[in-house]
Amino acid sequence: MAKLVFIRHGQSEWNLKNLFTGWVDVNLSEQGVEEAKAAGRKLKEAGIEFDQAYTSVLTRAIKTLHFALEESGQLWVPETKTWRLNERHYGALQGKNKADAAAKYGDEQVHIWRRSYDVLPPLLDANDEGSALKDRRYADLDPRTVPAGENLKVTLERVIPFWQDEIAPKLREGKNVIIAAHGNSLRALTKYIENISDEDIMNVEMATGQPVVYDLDENLNIVNKEKL
């Protein structure tokens, strides 16, 4: 039986400022660092040992993984970084204050952009200074693959191929896997492995820095789930 652990990154500097972040690369706040370290201590107390780690290419998730592994005495564990585990791209909302956006567009519209399964946010122009097309970490991607904005449906569509090709085979081999990523990329994975409906996934929250542990059989059926 394999263990799969999800950790949403600790509070980021932009979480603290109430800004839409998405693919913008921001650091952890002091609180976020402590949340990540606390997650690692919980993993150590639970005696969970890992064979493989995965994270996104964004600093807040990478550092969360490293702090958690270090605190659990497992910083040496092999890790893979991939853009497919990035947070959902919030389009033209990125960098905007959430309260200001609500004042401009209305609470209901902003709630729909944030929480609907298949409604896209306003898209970011490819020529915008903040476009991921200008970021070197995505230079090897087909430009048509780089999003200008995503909803949870699109996020799931880019996450699942990586799950099927890279993560699931490790779990089927009985390897223990840790994934430190983002609220929406982890919600997408949660939806997939728990077979949650489009409507119900909107009510699923991923707490920052709290490990979620799955015990999976050889067919990747969930035998047990707990939050540490």
Q: Tell me which residues are annotated as active site.
A: 9, 87
Using alpha carbons, list the distances in angstroms from residue 196 to 188, 200, 204. 10, 6, 9
CA distance 22 to 148: 11
CA distance 6 to 142: 28
Compute CA 205 distance to the chain's CA centroid, rounded to the nearest angstrom.
12
Letter string b/e over residues 154-171, b meaning 16 or more CB atoms within 10 A of that residue's CB: bbbebbbebbeeebbebb
Strand partners, 138: none
Tokens of 29: 């706040």
CA distance 121 to 94: 10
